[in-house]
Amino acid sequence: MKKMLIAAGLILFAATGVKAQMPALERIEPMNWWAGMSNPNLQLLVHGNRIGERQATLSYAGVKLKAVHKAENPNYLFLDLQISATAKPGSFPIRFTKAGEQEVTYTYALKARNKAANRAQGVTGKDVIYLLMPDRFANGDPNNDVVSTMRETGLHRDSMFSRHGGDILGLVNHLDYLKDLGVTTIWMTPEIENDEPQASYHGYAVTDYYKIDPRYGSNELYRQYVERCHSMGLKVIKDLVHNHIGTESYLIQDMPMKSWVHQWPVFTNSNFRDMAVMDPHGAPADKKKMLDGWFDRRMADLNENNPYVQNYLTQNHIWWVEYAGIDGFRLDTYPYNDAAYMADWAQKVQAEFPHLSIYGETLVWSAANQAFFTGGNTVNRGFDTHLPGVTDGVVKDAIYEALNGKPGWTDGVNRLYAVLAQDFLYQDAARNVIFLDNHDMSRLLSVVGEDINKYKSGMALLLTLRGIPQLYYGDEILMKNFSNPDGLVREDFPGGWTGDKQDKFTAQGRSKKENDAFDYVRRLANYRKATPALQTGKLMQYIPENNVYVYFRYDGQKTVMVVYNSNDKEETLTTGRYSERIGRATQAQNVITGETTDLGSLTLKPKSTLVLELLPGNTR
């Protein structure tokens, strides 16, 4: 046979002997499918010792074997099945035969779909997302901390790049904490297998697309976790990586064909310049390097122009939704992917799950750059990506400029106003996920210089602006640090491990300052959860004056006024300028304190934010 070798990022075929341990049929993926899917076509990847030399046959009512494709590597076959609308759930044998050798059979299951209303619900402005790294949140099962058959067996909580032992059961054990906080949706960084020799905890170097990493649990435990979330009124987002694959995956170690990944004469990184994708004057070589260059030496760049790669990825993602009932996808490194494939992917996924939410990680420097990747061809791209929303890093940067920047025509708080004024670039900016930090970025508290007023203002803006707000684990208890290196912002949540000196999942384990921050976030998040005006209401903003920024979220039932004083001194704000939105109201309730405030004149503390619900019963 031929085996793949990896040399400095170049993947080659090299003549070797057959792996003695590889059976004639090692796996079929997807390992099962469902009757009644929108798309009748299914392509099975078959991997086994010289399986490509065998003949494949099957017989089942409503299922037709349309074609059998051999690959460059004789250890693979690709079977094209057509499943008619009349096919019933059941199972059938797929037979692989070769003269003079024993027949190999795989029993393939065609299952009934689960159409429960609380599956694949979608994530919207009604939700608050909580991002966490499963290895660093809580350890519910110490027995899976080390799996001896995997390449990385070290467990060192004092090392930022080692595994720490957190898992899915640990998260399940703390769902009540998240529910109390006001969270409605949980996003874990990838929990599928990353059998890499170092830093496997982060999850972005996939080695088995159909398997939960055993150090986190099992596929069945993951499904139970999603079901448990749904029973509690919580939703689940799954983090996907289209662009690259871990080099220890069997798909790289025994690659189906040379064109499975992008090949270069020598190792070639991406240039990480999204502008090269959209630049009308750009050099084709720059665009190719951006899209086809490898993300890292241990993350091979998948060739998404290869139809076998396309089918494999798309079917895997559909499989996980139908298997577990997840509610949305976050798409890692979105700009690095092939645009035509990603548009096709989005349409195929949404055809099966119309309510499923999708948002892409873009992390670019302008609203126009972000909008370039979103659906609707709104910036004259000449192409519809069918991507509903993005991670709105431009709003994140603008919030920090409002909190930390010096006043200027487009600086300081004016930056935030100006960025939101560009929402016309999007088909629907409310589908963007807004955030202040994540696993790759410095934490909120550190970015604002540990100024608690700035911290609270940041949280107030995050939880009242348009879009879907996302919190990062531990921000609510004032976890801090800068992302240099990024392991510093991926510390363990105190109390997630038996024997931790402090349990900050409880009020008793938190300091007075931490409880104050936690209570502030909880109050705002739960208020948002109960207030449609903040979820789906309109946004009206006013040009900042004297470095004070005012905007309103409102619908037919309620109006919420948000006032941010970006000055370093106390300010007094008269509200006559905002009469078109305040209307006849003369009083408002402070959402945080519950106190009633007269609207004629507001006293604003330095770097502070007021969130006020107008009381329409008190009118001029």
Residue 141: pLDDT band (50, 70, 90) is very high
Q: What is the DSSP string of 293-332?
A: SBSBTTEEEB-TTSHHHHHHHHHHHHHHHHHH---EEEET
Question: Is 361 tagged catalytic?
Answer: yes
> CA 341, CA 385: separation in Å to the nearest integer?
9
Give the tokens for residue 368: 């126009």
What Cα–Cα distance (Å) separates residue 77 from each residue in 96, 292, 318, 321?
10, 26, 21, 25
pLDDT higher than 80, residue 85 = yes
**450: CB partners within 8 A, 6+ apart:** 480
What is the arithmetic mean of pLDDT over 79-106? 97
Q: What's the rounded Cα separation, in Å, for the pair 615 and 413? A: 27
Q: How far apart are CA 191 and CA 523, in angstroms?
A: 30
Residue 21's pLDDT band (cuts 50, 70, 90): confident
Residue 402 DSSP SS3: helix
Q: How far apart are CA 497 and CA 136, in angstroms?
A: 10
Q: What average pLDDT is seen over the chain?
A: 95
76: which 2 tokens? 């693979």
Q: Are 553 and 560 in contact (CB under 8 A)?
A: yes
Check: CB of residue 272 under 8 Å from CB of residue 290: yes
Per-residue pLDDT tens over the stretch 375-396: 999 999 999 999 999 999 999 9
Mean pLDDT of 215-233: 98
Q: Would you state the pLDDT for residue 618?
A: 61
Confidence band, pLDDT 50/70/90 cuts, at residue 210: very high
Confidence of residue 616 (pLDDT cuts 50, 70, 90): confident
Q: Mean of the pLDDT values across residues 541-559?
A: 98
Q: What count of other Cβ atoms lies within 10 Å of the Cβ of residue 280?
A: 5
Given the residues 361, 401, 475, 613, the one annotated as active site: 361
What mean pLDDT comes out for the span 472-498?
Answer: 96
- Pairs from 124-127 (Cβ < 8 Å, separation ≥ 24): 124/357, 124/430, 124/431, 124/468, 124/535, 124/536, 125/430, 125/466, 125/467, 125/468, 125/534, 125/535, 125/536, 126/184, 126/529, 126/532, 126/535, 126/536, 127/184, 127/185, 127/235, 127/468
The pLDDT of residue 150 is above 90: yes
**What integer pLDDT is reported at residue 619 of this predicted model?**
55
Selecting among 29, 332, 437, 492, the annotated active-site residue is: 332
Residue 11 banded pLDDT, cuts 50, 70, 90 = low
Measuring CA to CA, which residue among 117, 135, 77, 183 is closest to residue 471? 183
Q: Could you report the per-residue pLDDT of 563-583, keeping only the tens digit for each? A: 999 999 999 999 999 999 999
pLDDT at residue 372, as a whole number: 98
DSSP string, 456-467: HHHHHHHHHSSS
**Given this model, what pLDDT does residue 513 score?**
98
Q: What percent of the chain has pLDDT over 70?
A: 96
Q: Are strands 601-604 and 571-574 parallel, antiparallel or unpaired?
A: antiparallel
Percent of the chain residues topping a pLDDT of 90: 95
Characterise 445 by phi-psi region: left (phi > 0), alpha (psi -120 to 50), beta (else). Answer: alpha
